[in-house]
Amino acid sequence: MADFAMPQRVLPMTGFHGGSSVVRLEPAAPAGRISLRAKAEDVSALSGSLGVDLPTRPKTSASANGRTALWLGPDEWLVIDESESGLMTAAANSGVLHSATDVSHRNTAILISGPGAEAAINTGCPQDLSLSVFPVGACSRTLFGKVEVVLMRTGEEAFRMEVWRSFSDYAFGLLSEGAKDAAL
Amino acid sequence: MLLIHCPYCEEDRSELEFRWAGEAHIARPENIAAISDEEFAEFFFLRNNEKGLTYERWRHIHGCGRFFNAARDTVSDRFLMTYKAGLPKQPIPVASKAAAIAEEKTVETWEATEGDAR
């Protein structure tokens, strides 16, 4: 019997490395993601079944039980699950009207850390990323160069950039350039 | 770079995140099949294209994704005010209107420098 090659999972940005003396760039591990839309009255039921409180203030996020919910708009959230499972089922079990779309494989993420992280991202992002305006836990959909990204501050000197996988090559390349500039 | 205040994100963001979306406060006719061609043209095609203060729709397309209304001075490009979609036409706060008029006098327009007035 012929030997069939075992299918192998090839992640976007496999083997990519970049950064400089002040910025570290690395591809994030795969994660489960849903794009969630719901009305204000259904937020508490969805929060209960997802196990994380959906934030209702602009530019805020909430984390619990390995899941992070990011406020994108008044009725829109991006929910990320590190264990890659259960988000769609959890949303369906809420029993309230909502729209959940599995975007786990549409997005990938780049982790940016180090004292030059802000400067590297500001290479292509027009937002004010100083700690007073964009504190730890803040998140926002914005532009990075020519691509739309969701940016989240995970630490004082650490960011997570969610980007569509086909754009990840571009975003990583531009971040690498930014990282070099930040070290000058 | 212009900063535009998004009423949903509650802060000023770069103009790069926004898209213009036409004149604001145009009501769709209740029964569009019943109106005449002229009335339809008026509703669908004809816009005021005012010089000076205009009310426009804008969309925070690379942010929260929401449409909202803005009062803008088309001469100086200054945003006088933004407010949420669905609200009735808002009056311009007096202080910013005065500032906008003062600004207007200092703006070099094509008419003043290149047109008939030269």
B63 touches chain A (CB under 8 A): yes
Backbone dihedral region for residue A41 (phi beyond 0: left; psi -120 to 50: alpha; all else: beta):
alpha
Number of domains in chain B: 1
pLDDT score of A34: 96
Question: Which residues are A35's β-sheet partners?
Answer: A78, A101
Regarding predicted confidence, which is higher, A113 or B107?
A113
Domain range holding B50? 3-113
Return the residue of B nearest to A126 by Cα: B14
Helix runs in chain B, H state only: 37-44, 94-106, 110-113
The whole-number average pLDDT for the span A95-124 is 96
Contact between A54 and A43 (Cβ < 8 Å): yes
Question: CA-CA distances (angstroms) from residue A106 to A10, A84, A130, A164?
Answer: 14, 13, 29, 6
Where does the pLDDT of residue B1 fall: very low under 50, low under 70, confident under 90, or very high at 90 and above?
confident
Q: What is the CATH number of the domain that holds B59?
A: 3.30.2270.10
Contact A86, A93 (CB under 8 A): no
Contact across the interface for A59 and B65, Cβ inside 8 Å: no
Is the whole-model pTM more than 0.95?
Answer: no
Which of B8, B16, B17 lies closest to A58 in CB terms? B8
- Both tokens of A150, joined, read 């969701």
What is the distance between the alpha carbons of residues A6 and A19, in angstroms, rounded to a whole number?
34
Q: Over the stretch B53-92, which tens digit does the pLDDT of each residue have?
A: 999 999 999 999 999 999 999 998 999 999 999 999 988 8
B86 at A interface, C-beta within 8 A: no
What 8-state DSSP symbol labels residue A73?
Answer: E
Closest-CA distance of chain B to residue A140, Å: 7
Q: What is the DSSP letter of A3?
A: P
Distance from CA of A58 to the nearest CA of B (A): 5
Answer whether residue A149 shows pLDDT above 70: yes
Domain extents in chain A: 18-182
Query: In this structure, is residue B118 part of a structural domain?
Result: no
Give how far A56 is from chain B: nearest CA, Å: 11
Strands lying side by side in the sheet with B79-84: B19-23, B53-59, B67-73, B79-84
Q: Tokens at residue B74, please?
A: 């088309």
The gap between the terminal CA atoms of chain A, to the nearest Å, is: 59
In the predicted model, what is the mean pLDDT of residues B30-43? 93
Judge whether residue B117 has pLDDT over 80: no
- Band (pLDDT 50/70/90 cuts) for residue A10 is confident
B95: pLDDT confidence band, cut at 50, 70 and 90? low
- A 10 A CB-CB count for B114 gives 10
For A37-54, what is the mean pLDDT? 95
Residue that has been written with the tokens 């906008």 in this structure: B100
Which of B1, B9, B66 lies closest to A126 in CB terms?
B1
Which pair of structure tokens corresponds to residue B38?
A: 């002229």
Find the mean pLDDT for residues A148-156: 97
Q: Which CATH number fits domain A18-182: 3.40.50.280, 3.40.50.720, 3.40.50.2300, 3.30.1360.120?
A: 3.30.1360.120
Contact assignment for B64 to A127 by CB distance below 8 Å: no
**Mean pLDDT, all residues of chain A:** 94
* ipTM (interface pTM): 0.87
- Pick the residue of B6, B60, B62 with the most A CBs within 10 A to test the interface with A by mutation: B62
Confidence check: pLDDT of B100 > 70 = no
Subunit contact A127:B8, Cβ cutoff 8 A: no
Is residue A126 pLDDT above 60, yes or no?
A: yes
